A and B are shown apart, each in its own frame.
Chain A
Amino acid sequence: MKLDDFKLVLPLAALFAAFFIAPLCVLVVMSLSTDSDMQAYTSAHYVKFFTDAFNYSILIDTILLGVKATLVCLLFGYPIAWVASRAGARWQSVLLFLVILPIMTSVVVRTFSWIVILGRYGVLNQIVTGLGLSEEPLRLLFTEAGVVIVLAQVQMPLMVLPILTVMSKIDPNLADASRALGAGEWRTLWKVTLPLSLPGVIAGCILTYSACVTAFVTQTLIGGARHVYMPLHIYQQAIGANNWPFAAAISVVFMIAVLLIVYLLNQLTRLTPDAKT
């Protein structure tokens, strides 16, 4: 890096050193302190987290929530990207515009509209009872299924956009060649298009997953008090219980867990056909 370029990075690097790296270091020190004065050190908070079933089950629930929401995003996101990559420029823009709309709309507003839809007398229950599919209104709000549905809606663009980017770069001749050699459409999808678009799928999964596990507002408002995930747990310990060292310890555990899964997903990219050439 040349000196002139270094000067250009410097302001942002300084801000990150002072206001990103330093706070995270202080957080780690706090997590190892006996109290918020940070005078004496202990590993008790980590021991407490991993020996108490209530605590580590929240971490596991959060990780599983991320996996479920990511899978729903993939189920719908891949077809959307496939349709968009084959649509004309105008339709592609329209489709992408609709996909981006939810993530642009304020998260509180989005969650609020889902409360109107999922509530006991909400839109969905009116349809279900109206059609006679169920006598009683379904319980959707304050359930994990509700949280998964809402997360999938909100984070969809994070899945669609990376897949579409990779898919538009695939040489269309490859699919034509597959068909000319007698493979049907499904087989071509499975053997040609899907493997070639895998880097996009992995990138999409990484972004969707990390967004879903940390979606504090959605998890809290749709999940309610009985479904506690890691972000709310951190908030309750930090502000509600005012137990800063323990809140710091669970923050560190959570961050490491998220980064570990991102790292593992990233390693999968090495196995894709692109990486071998």
Chain B
Amino acid sequence: MPRPRPATDWEAWSLRAVFMALTAIAVVFLIGPSLIVLLTSLTASQSLRFPPAGLSLRWYVALLQADQMQAAAWTSLVVAVWTTLISAVLGTAAALAISRTRSALGKAFDMLFMSPLLLPALAFGFAALVFVYQLGLRPSIPLLVLGHVVVCVPFVLRTTLAALTQLDPALLDASASLGASRFMTFRRVTLPLIGRGVGAGSFLAFMASFDNVPVSLFLADERTEVLPIHLWQQIETNLDVRTAAASGLIVILTLLLMVLAERFAGLTRQMR
């Protein structure tokens, strides 16, 4: 016989309290570091102490003179833009084909294209370097872009496939029966409906490429330096406040891009 529920359900209350408390701790722990690096970068002094001694934007102004850092940021941007474009086109095409088939071959392709997410990226970066040398080539920007595409395309593939499964096939049949060609159907029906999925995936691919260290470490040539590796060397050699300012800038830009991606591509919904 079921027990009657008491007026105050202590058990329900305790479960909620424990889970809410763990979530609250996690949230502090998730956003705390970004806030602290932002505040530290606003310091007026030479040292990286928190709380900062006086507020000023002098270290941000100092970034204007940081030529090496700017060159590295530019290289990273160029690589990330190319990587995103190639990943978006190849990833969407592959996703369209994979979503339409139920064959074992389609499954195998899906697994192959997603596997860079699970495999150690550093081992892949090293393998790519060994391979490039065997071909008699040397690391270069185009090879770096290809390496980035391999590790970034899974993001596009995942969100686009998720968007495609939501697509009603009746719409495609309707378009075809009204005389639209396959390309026309893709451009006028499919693409507008999966656009947010492709957009969210492209955003993730861009961020992953801009931030990539393990592949860039092996495939960038000696003269070109990408931003994350440049910043890493700064942190290891001289921990100065300019690094904090660059970090602060990256945090702000990331936040802005994420708000835009959320607004136009529904980022948090696409990632589920």
Measured CB to CB, the residues of A under 8 A from B are 1-2, 4-6, 8-9, 11-13, 15-16, 19-24, 26-27, 30, 38, 75-77, 79-80, 82-83, 92-93, 95-102, 104-117, 121-123, 126, 153, 156-157, 161, 164-165, 168, 179-182, 184-186, 189, 206-207, 210, 213-214, 216-217, 221, 230-231, 234-235, 238, 244, 247-248, 251-252, 254-255, 258-259, 262
Distance in angstroms from A201 CB to nearest chain B CB is 15
Contact A23 B36 (CB under 8 A): no
Contact B11 A185 (CB under 8 A): yes
By beta carbon, the residue of chain A nearest B112 is: A16
Chain A residue numbers with a CB within 8 Å of B170 are none
Contact A230 B120 (CB under 8 A): yes
Bound-state Cα–Cα, A127 to B103, Å: 58
Chain B residue numbers with a CB within 8 Å of A221 are 232, 235-236
Give B109-130 interface residues, CB cut-off 8 Å to A: 109, 112-113, 116-124, 126-130
Chain A residue numbers with a CB within 8 Å of B9 are 184-185
Distance in angstroms from B241 CB to nearest chain A CB is 11
Chain B residue numbers with a CB within 8 Å of A38 are 134
Total CB contacts across the A-B interface at under 8 A: 277
Contact B113 A12 (CB under 8 A): yes
Q: Contacting A27 at CB < 8 Å: which of B37, B117, B126? A: B126
Further contacts, 16 of them, CB under 8 A, given A184-B12, A234-B122: A9-B98, A12-B153, A15-B149, A26-B131, A79-B20, A101-B254, A101-B255, A109-B246, A112-B231, A112-B247, A156-B30, A164-B272, A180-B2, A185-B15, A210-B120, A214-B123
Bound-state Cα–Cα, A48 to B228, Å: 34
Contact B118 A262 (CB under 8 A): yes
By beta carbon, the residue of chain A nearest B243 is: A112
Contact A79 B213 (CB under 8 A): no
Bound-state Cα–Cα, A180 to B31, Å: 39
Contact A255 B123 (CB under 8 A): yes
Give the residue among A2, A4, A12, A15 with the most B Cβ atoms within 10 A.
Answer: A12
Chain B residue numbers with a CB within 8 Å of A19 are 128, 131, 146-147, 149-150
Q: Mark B147-174, 1 if CB is under 8 A from A, else 0.
A: 1011001000000000000000000000
Contact B210 A214 (CB under 8 A): no
Give the residue among B33, B101, B146 with the most A Cβ atoms within 10 A.
Answer: B33
Contact B30 A101 (CB under 8 A): yes
Chain B residue numbers with a CB within 8 Å of A179 are 5
Q: Can you show 7 pairs from A to B with CB atoms below 8 A apart? A: A5-B101, A8-B97, A20-B112, A23-B131, A24-B124, A113-B40, A116-B37
Contact A100 B271 (CB under 8 A): yes
Bound-state Cα–Cα, A5 to B254, Å: 36
Contact B11 A186 (CB under 8 A): yes
Does B178 make an interface contact (CB < 8 A)?
no
Q: Contacting A107 at CB < 8 Å: which of B213, B243, B258? A: B213
Bound-state Cα–Cα, A96 to B200, Å: 15
Chain B residue numbers with a CB within 8 Å of A258 are 118-120
By beta carbon, the residue of chain B nearest A231 is: B122
Chain A residue numbers with a CB within 8 Å of B11 are 184-186
Q: A258-B119, A259-B118 are in contact. Are A4 and B182 (CB under 8 A)?
A: yes
Q: Contacting B97 at CB < 8 Å: which of A9, A121, A217? A: A9
Does B56 make an interface contact (CB < 8 A)?
no
Bound-state Cα–Cα, A230 to B20, Å: 36
Q: A16-B150, A26-B127 are in contact. Are A117 and B94 (CB under 8 A)?
A: no
By beta carbon, the residue of chain B nearest A245 is: B130
Distance in angstroms from B255 CB to nearest chain A CB is 7
Contact A12 B19 (CB under 8 A): no
Does B239 make an interface contact (CB < 8 A)?
yes
Chain B residue numbers with a CB within 8 Å of A106 are 210-211, 227-228, 231, 247, 250, 254
